[in-house]
Amino acid sequence: MDSNYINRELSLLEFHKRVLAQAFDPEVPLLERLRFLCISCTNLDEFFEIRVAGLKQRMEIGAPAQGLEKIPAQAVFDKVHVEVADLIRRQYELLNNVMFPELTKAGVHFVQSEEWNDEQKAWLSEYFDEQVVPVLTPLTFDPSRPFPRILNKSLNFIVRLHGRDAFGRRRHRGMVQAPRSLPRIIELPEHLSEPNGHSYVFLSTIIRVHVDRLFPGLEVDGCYQFRVTRNSDLYIDDEEVSDLVRALEGQLEASRYGAAVRIEIGHECPEDLQEFLLDHFSLQECDMYLVEGPVNLNRMSTVCGIGDRPELLYEPFTQGLPDELLTDEDIFEVLSKKNVLLHHPYQSFAPVIEFIALAAVDPDVLAIKQTLYRTGADSPIVDHLVTAARSGKEVTVVIELMARFDEAENIALANRLQEAGAHVVYGLVGFKTHAKMVLVVRREDDKLVRYVHLGTGNYHHATTSVYTDYGYLSSSSRLGEDVHKLFLQLTSLTEAVGMTRMLASPFSLFDALIDKIRRETENAEAGKDARVIAKVNSLNEPQLIDALYEASQAGVKVDLIVRGICTLRPGVKGLSENIHVRSIVGRFLEHSRVYYFLNDGDEEFYCSSADWMERNMFRRNESCFEIRQKAMKEQIRQHLELFLADNCQAWVLAGDGSYERLTARKEERVSAQETFLEHLAAQS
């Protein structure tokens, strides 16, 4: 082991392997396994668009070794290539050797061209002529018609041709771009499908079989799919930009045609055409991945929600509500008496939407302030904020335009809110606004009362059914004052000082975490029990890691539940024997951030929007709130203990950076997510 730290890119790839492992798990319902396979594909797409793109840029400029482990970018890239090649091989082996046969047995048939019967051939031929040909533009190349621009992650075909065109010129290659308007998977009519089943055909197969019709007079000698992944990271110079929206819109357009970083090509494509494509996109052989199937597995996700195959999906569940909300009182009446902790997705996100909806129409509400990072294009929350603004309430919305891959949607939401009369503030360039906060100011008996919602996850109503998060609703005056100060910080850029119930990045959170870890270290050195538990999505902040190493060496018991990236090496003699790291990967995406400190028996519990990463500590606006109510602290403690006892969906990190999945006999199985669902079912 050359370093005390694990490389970030390689750690992220380990997470992608854990996601793919769900697709291999026979205990997961079949269509859910297919969904995990699709997710593993989109994960790799983003990995290349951002992480590999960054590696290649550092390689091109000869940048010195970066990261705590100080591995040169070329060495990291070489390791990444080997790992990715193996991961992609496993994806397509699973698809072809397991998923397709098992799906066919279950009545979900992806029909290959050699399997088409005469009726299917006739229907697909007509479909090609009537639905596909009108929107295709076949191309051949010459000096006046060079190779076209290829959109990031689009479906394309390189075609080998023989003969002369209508103008007497020899043609050797052609190309077909599949427009985004065409569905990538076509379901055959019921009378052409398997009895009591569903039959699908890939668009790529339809185009390949009928491509000769696009080049009349020329002989087609092969048609091969390919897809290019481009650098999609956005860069905005905070010292040069004068209009963030216009600058971002320009960057979004440019990113669709950023530098190529990967090309996927059908495995049957001849070497000379492979070399032609590599040369055109200025790529090397190590940037090419040959695939035995569709170049974008994520397109298959469209079949994962088949309505008449419930046995192939996770068993549905009805989201619950905490006891405090099972009354006829409205949300303000409830919160005037007690605080409410929500645990999503097991408990519904509806109370949060109701909170904002009621505030929007309540005549006693004077102002609503909210942060928005990811919300979705059809957000009911935005609808309610628009209603509030149009009714004359003071509505302030801090929108993070730089939320990766949601930039265009957020610009549209910002414009809509501004048109309704809301005050829209954009996240500060260089400091993303990642905090999750709502503040409602309401007049009650001639005084103003602040109501707040704080969360660990986004205000996206769709993801709240698949992401695990905590939400906290309160009318605490001290908490409301802290949230008020944080909104002033976001709008006026003045530092929030004197907060008593909250911590925030980039000002107080990091220092507080370091202090609390060191306090545990001092307690251990004094012979007292000491413990730290953190549940986060990622961990790579070097000073936090070093503080945890020191705590471990002093005897502090450190348990880390880190879903994704973890650059800390646990269990290393003399360094981290007392640190244990596990990752939970299951039906739901573990997304909540929780910090626990034993504090010599005066236990502290915090929920936060922040992971333990450099960016979250120093380059983002984050919120962190303390849980003080005894019952809520006990509830979160039980949740953490359950995650630490999980022996079904838990992967344990070794000091060498590898993960091992825990297994248990049936009678000893403990699954945190399954236990939460069982408790929910028992309460209903």
| pLDDT tens-place string over residues 560-593 | 999 999 999 999 999 999 999 999 999 999 999 9
CB 453 within 8 A of CB 355: yes
> What pLDDT sits at residue 236?
40
Handedness of CA 77, 79, 81, 87 (dihedral sign): negative
Q: What b-and-e string marks burial along 545-575, b requiring 16 or more CB atoms within 10 Å of the CB? A: bbbbbbbbbbbbbbbbbbbbbbbbbbbbeeb
> What pLDDT sits at residue 35?
96
CA distances from 368 to 393, 397, 586 (A): 7, 8, 36
d(CA 479, CA 463): 27
Active site residue 434: yes
Handedness of CA 675, 679, 680, 684 (dihedral sign): positive
Extract long-range pairs of 138-147: CB within 8 Å, 24+ residues apart: 138/174, 138/175, 138/176, 138/214, 138/215, 139/174, 139/175, 139/176, 139/177, 140/165, 140/171, 140/173, 140/174, 140/175, 140/215, 141/173, 141/174, 141/175, 142/169, 147/175, 147/280
Q: Where in the chain is the domain with CATH 3.30.870.10?
A: 323-500, 505-683
257 CB neighbour count, 10 Å cutoff:
14
In the 8-state DSSP scheme, what is residue 65?
P
d(CA 598, CA 606): 12
**CATH class entry, domain 8-312:** alpha beta
Q: Give the containing element (helix H, strand E) for 61.
A: helix 53-61
For 624-646, write each residue's pLDDT tens digit.
999 999 999 999 999 999 999 99
CA distances from 535 to 352, 612, 636, 640 (A): 23, 9, 11, 8
Catalytic residue among 16, 343, 434, 591: 434
> What pLDDT sits at residue 308?
85
Q: Give the containing element (helix H, strand E) for 680.
A: helix 672-683
For the chain, residues with pLDDT lower than 50 are: 234-252, 254
Q: Where are the alpha helices (DSSP H) in 302-406?
A: 331-335, 350-361, 380-390
d(CA 147, CA 150): 9
Q: Tokens 């097991």 belong to which residue?
A: 346
Q: Give the containing element (helix H, strand E) for 162.
A: strand 156-162
d(CA 465, CA 71): 39
d(CA 580, CA 120): 56
**CATH class entry, domain 323-500:** alpha beta
Q: Tokens 């599949």 belong to which residue?
A: 178
Q: Which residues contact 69 (CB under 8 A, 6 or more apart)?
A: 2, 3, 5, 6, 7, 567
In the 8-state DSSP scheme, what is residue 51?
I
Phi-psi region at 571: left, alpha or beta (left = phi > 0; alpha = psi -120 to 50): left
d(CA 505, CA 621): 5
d(CA 331, CA 474): 10
> What pLDDT sits at residue 229?
95
d(CA 82, CA 2): 20
CA distances from 561 to 592, 672, 675 (A): 10, 12, 17
CB 103 within 8 A of CB 34: yes
Superfamily of domain 505-683: Endonuclease Chain A (3.30.870.10)
d(CA 205, CA 289): 19
179 CB neighbour count, 10 Å cutoff:
12
> What pLDDT sits at residue 683?
82
> What pLDDT sits at residue 257?
62
pLDDT, averaged across the chain: 91
* E strands present in 163-258: 173-177, 185-187, 198-202, 219-230
> What pLDDT sits at residue 596?
98
In the 8-state DSSP scheme, what is residue 600?
G
CB 529 within 8 A of CB 598: yes
d(CA 261, CA 60): 12
> What pLDDT sits at residue 240?
41
